[in-house]
C-alpha cells in the first residue's frame, strides 16, 4: 500500500501518469472495498483488486483511460465493464492520476481573461502571456498561476510545451498570432488553437505551408477556434473554446445529447 501511495504522489507531482482502480462496492465478488491496483502505461501493475479476471479487464481498459484522462465509476456486469449502474454489480472507481494539465493563453485581452477564469475553474494550471505591462499582471488576471509579460516569440521559445499543454492563441492581432503559432508548431502540444475568421486563419496557415511547415502539424491546429454555439461575447467565446478543449481531452464528439 505504501508503494502505491508513493507512486500516486509521483504522478500527481509531475511524474508519468498512472491508472488507478479502487473497489467501491464488491457486489457478488469476494472483494475488499478500498482494494487498489495501479497500471502503468507499459502495462506493468502494482497491487490487486482481489480478483484476477477483474484485474485483467481493468488493465485492458487502461490504455483508453490514459487517452481520455478518465475519472469515472465502472460497473462490472456479465457483459463486461460499463459506466451504467446495475443492481448488485461490482463498482470500481477508475482514474488517471497525473499533474494538472497546463492551459497556456497567449494574449491577455478580454477573451484571454475569460479563458483564465474558466481554465482555473476546470482545474488547469493557468499560464497567460502578453507583451503589454498593463495587460499581463496578476492584479488583472488573478486566476493565473503564471503571468508572463514578455515578447510573444521569445517567451514561447523557452516555455516547456508537451502532451499536457493546451495552447490558445488569442492575441490582439494576426501578426502576433502567426508568430506565436510558428513558435508552438511541432512541439507536441495536446491542443493548439488560434482565434480568427476562416479567411484570416486560412491565410495564416497558407503562409506557413508555403514556408515549409509540416502539413500534418498544420492540420492539427484548431482554427477557427472553439465549437459553433453562436458565441458573441468574450465570455461566450471562452466557453466555446473550453468546450472544444474538454471534447478533445475527454474523447467527446460535440454532438447534441438531447433526444426524445
pLDDT of residue 122: 96
Tens digit of each residue's pLDDT (9 = 90 or more) over 159-205: 999 989 999 999 998 889 999 999 999 999 999 999 988 998 998 99
Mean pLDDT of the chain: 93
Instruction: Write the pLDDT tens digit of every residue in 133-167.
Output: 999 999 999 999 999 999 999 999 999 999 899 99
Whole-number pLDDT of residue 160: 95
Instruction: Enumerate domains of the chain plus CATH numbers.
Output: 2-97 (no CATH), 102-250 (3.40.50.720)
Q: How many CB atoms lie within 10 A of CB 157?
A: 12
For residue 78, the model assigns a pLDDT of 76
CA distance 94 to 158: 35
Q: Which residues, given as ranges, of the chain have pLDDT below 70?
A: none
Q: What is the DSSP letter of 231?
A: -
Instruction: Quote the CA–CA distance of 176 and 147 in Å, as a whole number.
Output: 18
Distance from chain centroid for Cα 260: 32
To the question of pTM greater than 0.85 for the whole model, the response is no
Amino acid at each position: 500500500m505504501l508503494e502505491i501511495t508513493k507512486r500516486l504522489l509521483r504522478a500527481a507531482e509531475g511524474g508519468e501518469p498512472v491508472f488507478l482502480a479502487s473497489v467501491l462496492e464488491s457486489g457478488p465478488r469476494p472483494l475488499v472495498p478500498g482494494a487498489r491496483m495501479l497500471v502503468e502505461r507499459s502495462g506493468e501493475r502494482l497491487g490487486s483488486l482481489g480478483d484476477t479476471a477483474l484485474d485483467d479487464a481493468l488493465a485492458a481498459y487502461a490504455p483508453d483511460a490514459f487517452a481520455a484522462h478518465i475519472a469515472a465509476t465502472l460497473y462490472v456486469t456479465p457483459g463486461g465493464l460499463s459506466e451504467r449502474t446495475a443492481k448488485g454489480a461490482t463498482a470500481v472507481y477508475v482514474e488517471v492520476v497525473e499533474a494538472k494539465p497546463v492551459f497556456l493563453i497567449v494574449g491577455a485581452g478580454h477573451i484571454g481573461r475569460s479563458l483564465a477564469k474558466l481554465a482555473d475553474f476546470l482545474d488547469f494550471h493557468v499560464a497567460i502571456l502578453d507583451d503589454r505591462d498593463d495587460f499581463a499582471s496578476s492584479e488583472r488576471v488573478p486566476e493565473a498561476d503564471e503571468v508572463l509579460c514578455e515578447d510573444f516569440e521569445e517567451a514561447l521559445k523557452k516555455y516547456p510545451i508537451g502532451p499536457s499543454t493546451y495552447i490558445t492563441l488569442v492575441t490582439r492581432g494576426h501578426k502576433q498570432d502567426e508568430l506565436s503559432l510558428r513558435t508552438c508548431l511541432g512541439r507536441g502540444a495536446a491542443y493548439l488553437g488560434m482565434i480568427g475568421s476562416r479567411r484570416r486563419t486560412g491565410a495564416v496557415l497558407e503562409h506557413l505551408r508555403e514556408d515549409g511547415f509540416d502539413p500534418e502539424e498544420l492540420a492539427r491546429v484548431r482554427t477557427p477556434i472553439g465549437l459553433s454555439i453562436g458565441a458573441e461575447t468574450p465570455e461566450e467565446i471562452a466557453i466555446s473554446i473550453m468546450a472544444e478543449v474538454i471534447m478533445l481531452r475527454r474523447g467527446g464528439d460535440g454532438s447534441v445529447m438531447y433526444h426524445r
